[in-house]
Amino acid sequence: MSILIAFLVFGFLVLTHELGHFLLAKKAGIGVIEFSIGMGPRIVSKQIGETKYSLKWIPFGGSCMMIGEDSESDEPNAFHKKSVWARISVVAAGPLFNFLFAFLLALVVIAIAGSNPAKIYHVQKGYGAEQADLQEGDVITAINGKGISLGRDIDLYFLNHPMDGKNIAVTYERGGKEYTVSLDPHYTAYRMGISYFATKDRPAFSEVTENSPAAQAGIEVGDVVLRINGTAVATGEELGSYLAEHPIDGSPLELELERNGKPFDVTLTPEKQEGAALGFRASDYREKTDVLGVLKGGVQEVRYWVSFCFTSLKMLVTGQAGIKDMSGPVGIVSLIDTTVEQSRSDGALYVLLNVLNLAILLSANLGVFNLLPIPALDGGRLVFLIIEALRGKPVSPDKEGMVHTVGFALLMLLMVVVLYNDIARIFG
């Protein structure tokens, strides 16, 4: 089922992209030889007028083959015989339709799950946010003067501007008024390396971090807390209340635990940690909105994912990320499969929303990637068309063809490397 969903996602992304080229080509009076979804041998095809419509075996790709697109033609409806602005519109339409598709998917997600305003839903005690008097319900509007529209914009900002120890100017809205505070991101915390659920169940550890103080003390997942510093605790709620009333300050904790029905004692000494953090959460917040809010949110979603794609490209160029961090079709199918499997227990609606969110990212990514000024891509073709529009005559077809051929060969080499990385990551 997951593989089928992945193929459907790819199919719609390709269909949208090629449909953009196709519709604008028809509008400009350019003849389309074949409109195909997929690559390789044809599964089925049908000739309608001058155009053959095909479905092919390999789902990763497609084409809109136009008369006179890559070679001279005497046909009056050839691509190269149309005005340069008509050709620019045809080439740009593919990526633009990907952005449009991402927008339409975003409308569906927001209509169902709500928009993602940068509204604070949790303030951590003892951190800079609390000291700056930020409160739940405050809406962040800017970080260091950079406008914030979505909750996830905050994370994206710090991906581009890592915290360097300096105070952060946070602008927020409360009660219809806007305020700006200086937030000190420094914090000192004490790490134990354990997690538990603060419920009415017995206080058992759900996670023990490797090489943490808890792990070094011999604590294991499933160990149940009977007493902490001599105080009996019967539930996860009681353990949480004790820790809230007795903040961790680095002093050793005397724990009486139970494992397999047998009690035993351990001493856990928390580890001091210093770092930088905002001390509030706003990225994951969603709330229902009206029709105008859905439309506005759709635009903000596409803008966010386009910015995210450019940030990823910047990280590749600056060396913050490498080719090994890139994923091709195989890696994306694996990601979709993982997403579906992890969401399945939450119900079909959550599977749908998570897949749609991935499709929004992929569609925006495809639009950005195809607009890059790389030979053989739409962006590379647009560069030559813009040069033609500026100088009043086209670049030599032979020279342009050579550039696109070299660019295509390099892209294929990159795809081989990415494919190898995908396979190594999955089976390694």
Check residue 348 and give its pLDDT.
85
The share of the chain scoring above pLDDT 70, in percent, equals: 96
Average pLDDT over residues 101-118: 96
Which residues are tagged catalytic? 18
- Write the DSSP string, 114-139: -B-B-B--EE-TTSHHHHTT--TT-E
Check residue 1 and give its pLDDT.
64
* Residue 145 burial (10 A CB sphere; 0-12, 13-18, 19+): exposed
3-state SS class at 266? strand
Q: How far apart are CA 263 and CA 276, in angstroms?
A: 39
* The pLDDT of residue 418 is above 90: no
3-state SS class at 246? coil
pTM for the complete prediction? Answer: 0.80
Q: How far apart are CA 378 and CA 306, in angstroms?
A: 17
Check residue 115 and give its pLDDT.
95
Identify which of 134, 139, 137, 129 has the alpha carbon closest to the alpha carbon of residue 172.
Answer: 139
Check residue 227 and give its pLDDT.
96
Rg over CA atoms, the chain: 28
Digit-coded pLDDT (tens) for 271-330: 998 889 999 999 888 999 999 999 999 999 999 999 999 998 888 887 776 666 666 666
Average pLDDT over residues 228-256: 93
Domains of the chain: 2-113+357-427 (no CATH), 188-273 (2.30.42.10)
Digit-coded pLDDT (tens) for 388-403: 999 888 887 777 778 8
* The pLDDT of residue 262 is above 90: yes
Q: How far apart are CA 334 and CA 342, in angstroms?
A: 12
Q: Residue 226 in contact with residue 213, Cβ under 8 Å? A: no
Alpha carbon 76 to its chain centroid, in Å, reads 44
* The pLDDT of residue 270 is above 90: yes
Check residue 289 and give its pLDDT.
94
User: Beta partners for 93?
Assistant: none
- Write the DSSP string, 181-238: EEE--EEEEEE--EEE--SSS--BEEEE-TTSHHHHTT--TT-EEEEETTEE--SHHH
Average pLDDT over residues 353-368: 93
**374 is written with which tokens?**
């790389």
Check residue 324 and give its pLDDT.
67
Q: How far apart are CA 397 and CA 260, in angstroms?
A: 77
Check residue 322 and give its pLDDT.
65
Average pLDDT over residues 212-236: 95
Q: Which amino acid is at 5?
A: I
Q: Residue 159 in contact with residue 128, Cβ under 8 Å? A: no
Quick one: pLDDT band at residue 426, thresholds 50, 70, 90? low
Q: Residue 102 in contact with residue 300, Cβ under 8 Å? A: no
**Strand order through the sheet with 231-232:** 231-232, 224-228, 253-259, 262-268
* The pLDDT of residue 23 is above 70: yes
Average pLDDT across the chain, whole number: 90
* The pLDDT of residue 382 is above 90: yes
* The pLDDT of residue 373 is above 70: yes
Q: Which long-range contacts (CB under 8 A, 24 or more apart) does 235-238 make?
A: 235/199, 235/200, 235/201, 235/202, 235/203, 236/196, 236/197, 236/198, 236/199, 236/200, 236/201, 236/202, 236/203, 236/204, 237/198, 237/199, 237/200, 238/203
Quick one: pLDDT band at residue 233, thresholds 50, 70, 90? very high
* Residue 395 burial (10 A CB sphere; 0-12, 13-18, 19+): middle
Cα–Cα distances (Å) from 206 to 99, 213, 257, in that order, read 42, 16, 14
3-state SS class at 146? strand
Calculate ∠ Cα 363-367-370, nearest 5°: 135
Q: How far apart are CA 2 and CA 74, in angstroms?
A: 47
Average pLDDT over residues 149-163: 93
Check residue 319 and give its pLDDT.
76
Average pLDDT over residues 44-52: 93
User: Beta partners for 281?
Assistant: 122
* The pLDDT of residue 78 is above 70: yes
* Residue 283 burial (10 A CB sphere; 0-12, 13-18, 19+): middle
